[in-house]
Amino acid sequence: MIPALNILVLNHLAERHVKTITGVMPGITVHTSELAQAASFIADTDILVSWGWMDIRELFLAAPKLKWVHALSAGVENLVFPEIQASSVILTNSRGIHGIPVSEHVLALMLAFTRGLNRLIRQQTEKRWKRVPTDELHEKTIGIVGLGSIGREIAKKAKGLGMNVLATKREMTTEIFVDKLYTPDRLVDMLAQSDFVVVALPQTEETREYFRLEHFEAMKRTAYFINIARGTVVREADLVTALEQGLIQGAGLDVFEHEPLPENSPLWDMPNVIITPHLAALSPYYLDRAVKLFADNLARFCQGGEMFNVVDKQKGY
């Protein structure tokens, strides 16, 4: 018989979410708490559900029964530390639930640029009636840097709009929505052909400052750069240089090296830059999807089955 499980969730849950989790098997108890108050529950916790940006290290050290840490986010940047790496505690994430809102956000940014909305919105605040140059996404080329679950959803929607879809991926696989795959060492070849470059890489030590000035120099002067991954994946000073020197046409940015973006950042005043405050993955359905994914994995955990979205604690993804 499977022993009772105490689950601590560092986020508010609606009653329907709690029922989804407790309905996996009898004997499950769910506590919800803010991070600051979590210490009063942690000693008896078997499973900790957190966000990847939370600093749970002190909780982890005070959790003798802990068997599994799950991130409600795809990123686990603050959940990988020496003690958890050296332990047998399982670490999983919510990879796979972000594709719909993030891909729609990418399409919104690309359409905003092709239809001139970045200029028109500024003109509206000035009550100025003036047509601006427009373009189409149809038959343009999108280059997706990192073809994971989010990258695939972007590719699917881009192909639906009649775009030519390129992508980089470590392993060469058959991808029905991608016209051509490139290995990471051929990134520059892909950049030279792309009208829109979309970064969808995970945040790891390997991807830190992955995008630098030489990559912007390899892009078309008419190309747009879109980052919905993590700000640290791009050397931000090089991006600013590329925009100031006209190496690229513009940028749609949802993530930044420092968040909130400092008021003195030159990015704020650039008319060819669209800034959104790290909300590409936000959706009114986010927590429903995240809880369902966790409950599905919880059933596997309880049954001793193979779990999905298990993070390699040494690699960080």
Annotated domain spans of the chain: 5-97+284-303, 99-275
Distance, in Å, from the CA atom of 135 to the CA atom of 151, rounded to the nearest integer, reads 24
Whether residue 1 is predicted with pLDDT greater than 80 in this model: the reply is no
Distance, in Å, from the CA atom of 33 to the CA atom of 49, rounded to the nearest integer, reads 10
Tell me the torsion sign for CA atoms 174, 282, 58, 207.
positive
What SS3 class is residue 109? helix
Determine the pLDDT at residue 297. 98
CA distances from 253 to 11, 67, 106, 200 (A): 27, 37, 10, 12
Average pLDDT value over all residues in the chain: 97
Distance, in Å, from the CA atom of 312 to the CA atom of 309, rounded to the nearest integer, reads 9
Determine the pLDDT at residue 317. 86
pLDDT band, very low/low/confident/very high, at 95 (cuts 50, 70, 90) = very high
What CATH number should be reported for the domain whose range is 99-275?
3.40.50.720
Determine the pLDDT at residue 204. 85
Whether residue 202 is predicted with pLDDT greater than 70 in this model: the reply is yes
Supply the residues annotated as catalytic. Answer: 230, 259, 278
Mean pLDDT, rounded, for 69-96 = 96
**Which pTM does this prediction carry?**
0.93
Determine the pLDDT at residue 2. 65
Distance, in Å, from the CA atom of 134 to the CA atom of 236, rounded to the nearest integer, reads 28
Whether residue 157 is predicted with pLDDT greater than 80 in this model: the reply is yes
Whether residue 130 is predicted with pLDDT greater than 80 in this model: the reply is yes
Nearest-5° angle of CA 18, CA 21, CA 23? 105
Q: Which CATH architecture has domain 5-97+284-303?
A: 3-Layer(aba) Sandwich (3.40)
Domains 5-97+284-303 and 99-275 fall in the same CATH topology: yes
What SS3 class is residue 305? coil
